[in-house]
Amino acid sequence: MITIEENRLRYHYDAEEMWIEPWGANSVRIRVTKQARMPQESWALLRNCASWKNETDNTGNSSEKAGTYPDEHHMAAIQATADGAELLNGKIRVHLTNGGKLMIYNQNGKLLVDEYWRNRRDVTDPKCSAIEVEAREFRPNIGGDYHLTYRLASVDSEERLYGMGQYQQPYLNLKGTDLELAHRNSQASVPFLLSSIGYGLLWNNPGIGRAVLGKNVMSFEAYATKSLDIWITAGDTPAEIEEAYARETGTVPMMPEYGLGFWQCKLRYQTQEELLAVASEYRKRSLPLDLIVIDYFHWPKQGEWKFDPVYWPDPDGMVQKLKDMGVELMVSIWPTVDRESENYNEMLENGYLIRTERGVRTGLDFEGATIHYDATNPAAREYVWQKAKKNYYDKGIHVFWLDEAEPEYTAYDFDNYRYYAGTDLEIGNIYPAEYARTFYEGMKQQGQDKIVNLLRCAWAGSQKYGALVWSGDIASSFESMRNQLAAGLNMGLAGIPWWTTDIGGFHGGDPNDPDFRELFIRWFQWGTFCPVMRLHGDREPRQPQFGTTGGAHCRSGAPNEVWSYGEEVYAICEQYLMIRESMRDYIRGLMKEAHKKGTPIMRPLFYDFPEDQMCWKVETQYMFGPDMLVAPITEKGLRNRSVYLPKGLSWKNIWTGEIQEGGQTIPVAAPLEKIPLFTRQG
């Protein structure tokens, strides 16, 4: 049965209840459940539309009051049709058949989304079939909720799909891929996809699952959930789609000035003296340095969130000395709590820790038996923030490295963990967003507006909490570097414009190895044209252990400063540090666009040139803002490569000054000291 309400189209069949509503310009939200009542969580979607009267529960999610709608500024035109009903909201039109099938069109009548039904419920459907496959399959989990599978038929054989977060594979176009909707170290599920045929789709479900973006059928799964919840927008350009998504899920804050330059990091500076000596050396050499990082195990035990006084005897003095040098300090935070830490029993008693369904309460067995704090619990968030505020923030440290944000488990038994907000299977993917929220809200309460914190993971909406995501503990290899290029571009299209990598990769790499030096140079060049330029890694060989207590047994990797790789490498790094410094005004402008509109800072060519069909096919070069075309070298020994110049413009080779007309692929020299780089003219 179809019911037309003031600003909502409803469908009911047996136990299934569906709501179709306008949700922002040219956009709709579709929810389906077989529960007695429609779930009210907003998940990634914002709740601050000016006309949306709402109540907020203790999880931070809003619940709608009867008779109110998410955005009355976008009143939909809803009418009955001969075979069902339609909802029209700007450029998007949703057609609902009497049999319950959905088809979504743009303003020109082009079919964008077509539910994959293969059954005999609606005999008027020309695809009526005896196969008996449902588009919205709610398969009961015995004694629990549902295993949901949502199927969409491919409507265009040439469709290309982008976004969905960060996966360790080289494909920018995700059509034909199989993606786990779950977080792991170096994998972030951010389930918003952008289609080349003119729509964006958010799988607004934080449960563990799977997305298969097949050639014939596209499916999304949630292994345990109460409802189907998707948000879809139609747009004429990728930028229009991306900006619509940002309006509904939030944008990043304005990047602080220290986010525009160079960040120095390694695994790990072991003492206060060592860290200050490195910062002093950068200043002695007159090299740009905006921020330096104290990595993990600077604390006595995990879950104590404070400096170990044995190795860091005067944090206040250290912070002041760095500020006198014009260097910001970032410290590593882990969400893990050791059983032997001073806070464990109190956190256990108050219910601030993630629970396990079976076995001992251990999530990560690394340098101690630990379990993570429950970031979905508001009281736990406040508890952790207060510890960090007292021991770091009040000392002048106003930027944090929120590591282990997935959270990382020793065994990824997603069915074994339970949070304040629900089971891991149902809501686990929201953890990194709530982890970022812990510190964002605490810093905001202190009056800080320009907030950026580094995280190893994200979910849809993490950007509004100041999340700068890096690509995790990746291999030091050209193959890995190539994967990061695809990851960074897709993260930007998934709504996470602040993104970075460990320059040189994380695992291994000897600074004295000529092969690694080549990789390091190529990665350093590329890192210059990433949203944040950050050097990090666990280099070989490991250094001798310094001390015997606290975190001292986590030995430091080999030196990882720009002068650690020999004179030739140093000269190249110095050049690119100066290039980055010279771009501060340009990068500041890119950060403003990300803050205002959600614009990715690094993006595929098609984002700026959607009418050029060749730009949809190029996957190994990108735009750094609207004016700079970057073509990284991601193969060992390569000293030249082909570069496509988008048509309709002239392009200048930064190194040679030569100007070429767009619309052609040209050979470009790429000696070791140069990354192919062009600027648009005019």
By annotation, the residues acting in catalysis are 403, 406, 473
Separation CA 341–CA 296 (nearest Å): 15
Distance between CA atoms of residues 374 and 431, nearest Å: 8
What average pLDDT does the segment 266-276 reach?
98
> How confident is the model over 218-245, as a mean pLDDT?
98
From residue 226, alpha-carbon distances to 39, 207, 219, 387, 429 in Å are: 7, 10, 17, 35, 15
Q: What is the mean pLDDT of residues 276-280?
A: 98
How does DSSP classify residue 143? Answer: T
The stretch 76-99 carries a mean pLDDT of 97
Q: What mean pLDDT value characterizes the chain?
A: 95
Instruction: Kindly indicate whether the domain formed by 604-680 is annotated with CATH number 3.40.50.1370.
Output: no
Q: Determine how many CB atoms are found less than 10 A away from the CB of residue 439.
A: 25
Q: Rounded to whole angstroms, how far apart are CA atoms 666 and 680?
A: 15
* DSSP-derived pairing of the beta strands 467-470 and 453-455: parallel
For residue 491 the two structure tokens come to: 């993260």
Reported as a pLDDT band with limits 50, 70 and 90, residue 130 is: confident
pLDDT-derived band at 492, boundaries 50, 70, 90: very high
Distances 115 to 90, 126, 392, 446 between C-alpha atoms, Å: 21, 13, 51, 48
pLDDT tens, 282-330? 999 999 999 999 999 999 999 999 999 999 999 999 999 999 999 999 9
For residues 115 and 201, give the distance between their C-alpha atoms in angstroms, rounded to a whole number. Answer: 13
d(CA 93, CA 77): 9
Cβ–Cβ under 8 Å, residues 23 and 46: no
* 50 — pLDDT class (breaks 50, 70, 90): very low
Alpha helix locations (H) across 87-228?
Answer: none
What pLDDT score was predicted for residue 428?
98
Per-residue pLDDT tens digits for 505-544: 999 999 999 999 999 999 999 999 999 999 999 999 999 9
3-state secondary structure 1-35: CEEECCCCEEEEECCEEEEEEECCCCEEEEEEECC
pLDDT of 565 reads 98
Residue ranges covered by each domain of the chain: 2-249, 257-296+323-336+363-597, 604-680
Whether the domain at 2-249 and the domain at 257-296+323-336+363-597 fall into the same CATH topology: no
pLDDT (tens digit per residue) in 359-413? 999 999 999 999 999 999 999 999 999 999 999 999 999 999 999 999 999 999 9
Place of tokens 């993990």: 296
| Of 345, 354, 349, nearest in space to 416 by CA | 354
The whole-angstrom separation of Cα 455 and Cα 438 is 12
Q: Which of 37, 100, 47 is nearest to 71 (CA)?
A: 47
User: b/e string for 370-403 if b means 16 or more Cβ within 10 A?
Assistant: bbbbbbbbbebbebbbebbbebbbebebbbbbbb
Per-residue pLDDT, 65: 36
- In this structure, what token pair is assigned to residue 203? 């799988």
Share of the chain above pLDDT 70, in %: 95
Question: How large is the average pLDDT for residues 137-164?
Answer: 96
CB 1 within 8 A of CB 11: yes
Residue type, 285: R
Q: In DSSP terms, which residues pair with 32 in a beta bridge?
A: 18, 228
Q: What residues are paired with 326 via a beta bridge?
A: none
CB half-sphere exposure, 466, CA atoms < 13 A: 27
39 touches 45 (CB < 8 A): no
pLDDT for residue 61: 40
Per-residue pLDDT, 129:
72
Residue 55 has pLDDT above 60, yes or no: no
pLDDT confidence of residue 128: 67
Selection from 375, 500, 498, 344 nearest residue 442 by Cα = 375
Per-residue model confidence (pLDDT) at position 68: 35
pLDDT at site 640: 98
How does residue 125 score in pLDDT terms, banded at 50, 70 and 90? low
The secondary structure of 177-202, three-state, reads CEEEECCECCEEEEEEEEECCCEEEE
* Structure-token pair, residue 589: 């402008």
Residue 355: phi, psi to the nearest 5?
-100, 155
Phi-psi group of 225: left, alpha or beta (phi > 0 → left; psi -120 to 50 → alpha; rest → beta): beta
- The position carrying tokens 């030091």 is 476
Long-range contacts, 320-325 (Cβ 8 Å, 24+): 320/396, 321/276, 322/276, 322/279, 322/292, 323/396, 325/279, 325/280, 325/283, 325/289
Instruction: Answer whether CATH 3.20.20.80 is correct for domain 257-296+323-336+363-597.
Output: yes
Cβ atoms 452, 465 nearer than 8 A: no
Over residues 88-102, the mean pLDDT reads 97
Hey, what CATH class is 2-249 in? mainly beta
629 bridge partner residues: 623, 678
440-480 residue pLDDT tens: 999 999 999 999 999 999 999 999 999 999 999 999 999 99
Secondary structure element (H or E) that encloses residue 447, with its range? none
Q: In 10 A of CB 490, how many CB atoms?
A: 29
Between CA 314 and CA 311 the distance in angstroms is: 9
CA distance 250 to 269: 35
Residue (of 145, 92, 96, 146) closest to 117 by Cα position: 96
pLDDT at residue 131, rounded to an integer: 87
Note the pLDDT tens digit of each residue in 535-544. 999 999 999 9
Number of helices (H), then strands (E), belonging to the chain: the values are 12, 42
